[in-house]
Structure 1
Amino acid sequence: MTGSRSGSLPRYILQRVLLVIPMIWVILTLVFIVLRVAPGDPVSAALGGKLNDEALDQRRTALGFNDPLIQQYWDYLSSVVRLDFGTTFSDNQKVLEVVRDNGGATLSLTLAAFVIALLLGIPLGLVAGRYRDTVPDVVIRVFGILTYAAPIFFVGFLLQAYVAKPLGLPTSGAAGVETVFYMERDGLNKTHVLLFDVFLSGNSYYIEDVLKHLLLPALTLGLLICGVFIRLVRVNILQTMQSDYVEAAEARGISTSKVTRRHAFRNALVPVITVIGLQFALLLGGAVLTESTFNWPGLGQRLVEYINDRDYVAVQGIVTVFAIAVVLISLLVDIVNALIDPRVRY
């Protein structure tokens, strides 16, 4: 029995890894189909009016868009396996280069937003569960509903209008012009993630500048999923407080606050970890609107630009990268959840 249980974790991880393959295949297929059923063709959409009909047809042939659909599908899957996501029409860049140059800004924004969501959502959910059906509980629940339901661009505009100026916070870009210039001049952009690079540089001015630019976009995006964590923690605190071992602890004279902190709170974190993968997908979707609102130089902002330019290849490549990232993050979360909660493996 012991050997069977000890082997369950590797077996669970293997099963999850194997499931990733069909998940990615389904996502890639959906991306391919959705973009192919759109009216027109990508070459005409991006270059129509710039080239004559003969030149457009030559370009379509060269790029394989005149091939049978099944051949296009096979070429698409083959290129993704080789990590070749194509070359953009509008600026003739490899999609992977666009991801490398702009993905760091999206990563910084997403991670900062996630930290803010956890720092707000978990304590507020704990308070709401601890003081059920009281004024604090009602206020916190209403706050969670509003932050989740409010349009993200509207929240961003409110923060820009009423928070940025009183606190002296910037409302556009990822850093000041001076910081960007000197970071590039001194060769300090080593990781392509500005947030990491400024900390590695050790320059307090650069660090402060980047954090100031990051605060409002991260807060806007973090509020989007803060309500999810509030509800999750609150519900699980209430369930845990009604369990037998909590009643036994209280019967031994342990105070309710101690029971809440030592027992109920820990168990309430398990479902939070479970839904991290799903919330990461929500954050990536919200990042597109957040980056547009704050002119944040990330993948979401570039995606909007490519959509406006009707750059079919760029949109397909970036959406594919987003989809694969979500699947891999979900896999990681499943593994971490299995390590924390052994019940998941069985």
Structure 2
Amino acid sequence: MIWVILTLVFVVLRVAPGDPVSAALGGKLDEQALEQRREQLGFNRPLIAQYWDYLSSVARLDFGKSFSDNQPILHVIRDNGGATLTLTLAAFVVALLVGIPLGLVSGRYRDTVPDVFIRLFGILSYAAPIFFVGFLLQVYVAEPLGLPTSGASSPITAFTVKPHTHILLIDAFISGDSTAIQDVLKHLVLPAVTLGLLICGVFIRLVRVNILQTMQADYVEAAEARGISRGKVTWRHAFRNALVPVITVIGLQFALLLGGAVLTEATFNWPGLGQKLVDYINDRDYGAVQGIITIFAVAVVLISLLVDIVNALIDPRVRY
């Protein structure tokens, strides 16, 4: 899968019109000078030679340097990856805390007024564009609650907190600065809620369907026949078994969160890999775009593998 993604990115970037030299230096140098720069960077070589060099470099974990700002790609990933990881995990927590309880309530009270409203909320949260939801939160929620609408922290926090791990929230905890911790958390609220709502609807519908199916199982009927209350049957029996297929989908939704992080970071000016990816795409920076997407691809594949392992540990039937 990683190889397929790398190949698609390589082909798409080179099929699209233009090149990084023209994007960065067009209008500043004449055509002859631009052609010399393309030759120096290897853009005039046959595509198969460029492709082989690209795969060889990735195999050595050498992503080269970005053409637009002359930064090593690994340094870009190190400096900006922490912000994307923080946003993705926070959004994941929001989606789980909202989606799973609402799905449980919706399945428990099927075809009632709460069920109708919860299902409608799930559809809207999944269908609404991320940038539109982010804009609404910025306009109608940020000011009443006193929440920031841009960036990962205030300038003073970014200046005073030392980058031990390049994850601002952890660095703020390490420094023991409570003001910085509060500042980082306040900046995180709106982007995390915006991105978390993207997959919240998926969890609502999935938990609801599995609760309804599990409630029809024989062991649930047997528990009710023994006089166990409906609430205890739902929580102790149906809910736990309904979570098994949900765990599998949780890993798949991680990829959706990474994709949504690009739009979320652009909406809130969040200094993560998604924002850098947009900048590099605009600059037609082949090496930087390929490097960042490679990291995304590896992360998704590893998370999918981890979910398969966890699923096998939870459900013994999977191991057979």
**TM-score normalised by structure 2 residue count:** 0.96
One-letter identity of the residue aligned with 1:345:
R
One-letter identity of the residue aligned with 1:143:
F
One-letter identity of the residue aligned with 2:99:
G
Matched, 1:302 2:279: no
Identical residues among aligned pairs (%):
82
| Cα displacement (A) at 1:318 | 1.4
Q: List per-residue Cα deviations over 1:247-288 (Å, max 9, x = no partner).
A: 111111111100111111111211221012221111111111
Matched, 1:322 2:296: yes
Q: Distance in 2 between matches of 1:84 and 1:62?
A: 19
- Is residue 82–residue 167 contact of structure 2 (8 Å, CA) maintained in 1? yes
Secondary structure at 1:275 match in 2: helix
Structure 2: give runs of 5+ residues left out of the alignment.
Answer: none
- Is residue 6–residue 290 contact of structure 2 (8 Å, CA) maintained in 1? no
| Cα displacement (A) at 1:24 | 1.3
**Structure 2 vs 1, CA of residues 165 and 72 (structure 1 numbering), >3 Å: closer, same or farther?**
same
- Is residue 46–residue 312 contact of structure 1 (8 Å, CA) maintained in 2? no
Q: Distance in 2 between matches of 1:64 and 1:308?
A: 20
Q: Distance in 2 between matches of 1:73 and 1:312?
A: 12
Find the counterpart in structure 2 of residue 57 from structure 1.
35
Matched, 1:167 2:162: no
Matched, 1:233 2:175: no
Find the counterpart in structure 2 of residue 213 from structure 1.
187
Q: Distance in 1 between matches of 2:5 and 2:285?
A: 20
Counterparts of 1:98-117 in structure 2, within 5 Å, are 98-117=76-95
Find the counterpart in structure 2 of residue 270 from structure 1.
244
Q: Distance in 1 between matches of 2:154 and 2:20?
A: 36
Matched, 1:138 2:116: yes
Q: Distance in 2 between matches of 1:284 and 1:91?
A: 24
- Superposed CA RMSD in Å reads 1.3
Q: List per-residue Cα deviations over 1:19-43 (Å, max 9, x = no partner).
A: xxxx211111111111121123332
Counterparts of 1:329-340 in structure 2, within 5 Å, are 329-340=303-314
- Is residue 250–residue 259 contact of structure 1 (8 Å, CA) maintained in 2? yes
| Cα displacement (A) at 1:323 | 1.6
Deviates most, 36-45 or 23-32: 36-45
Deviates most, 137-146 or 265-274: 265-274
1:122 aligns with one of 96, 100, 116: 100
- Is residue 232–residue 272 contact of structure 1 (8 Å, CA) maintained in 2? yes
Q: List per-residue Cα deviations over 1:158-199 (Å, max 9, x = no partner).
A: 11111111111111110111111111xxxx311001011112
Q: Distance in 2 between matches of 1:121 and 1:150?
A: 16
Matched, 1:289 2:267: no
Q: Distance in 2 between matches of 1:63 and 1:321?
A: 23
Q: Distance in 1 between matches of 2:201 and 2:48?
A: 44
| Cα displacement (A) at 1:49 | 2.3
| Cα displacement (A) at 1:324 | 1.7
**TM-score normalised by structure 1 residue count:** 0.89
Aligned residues: 320
Q: Distance in 1 between matches of 2:319 and 2:15?
A: 40
Matched, 1:93 2:80: no
Q: Distance in 1 between matches of 2:237 and 2:132?
A: 39
- Is residue 134–residue 191 contact of structure 2 (8 Å, CA) maintained in 1? yes
Secondary structure at 2:158 match in 1: helix
One-letter identity of the residue aligned with 2:310:
V
Secondary structure at 1:92 match in 2: coil
One-letter identity of the residue aligned with 1:283:
L
1:249 aligns with one of 223, 238, 259: 223
Q: Distance in 2 between matches of 1:94 and 1:120?
A: 39
| Cα displacement (A) at 1:58 | 2.6
Counterparts of 1:27-46 in structure 2, within 5 Å, are 27-46=5-24
2:159 aligns with one of 175, 181, 187: 181
Deviation >4 Å, runs of 4+: none
Find the counterpart in structure 2 of residue 13 from structure 1.
none
Structure 1: give runs of 5+ residues left out of the alignment.
Answer: 1-22
Q: Distance in 2 between matches of 1:227 and 1:137?
A: 13
One-letter identity of the residue aligned with 2:217:
S
Q: Distance in 1 between matches of 2:159 and 2:23?
A: 36
Q: Distance in 2 between matches of 1:82 and 1:158?
A: 44
Secondary structure at 2:141 match in 1: helix
- Is residue 221–residue 290 contact of structure 1 (8 Å, CA) maintained in 2? yes
Counterparts of 1:191-210 in structure 2, within 5 Å, are 191-210=165-184
| Cα displacement (A) at 1:126 | 0.3
| Cα displacement (A) at 1:62 | 2.4
- Is residue 125–residue 230 contact of structure 1 (8 Å, CA) maintained in 2? yes
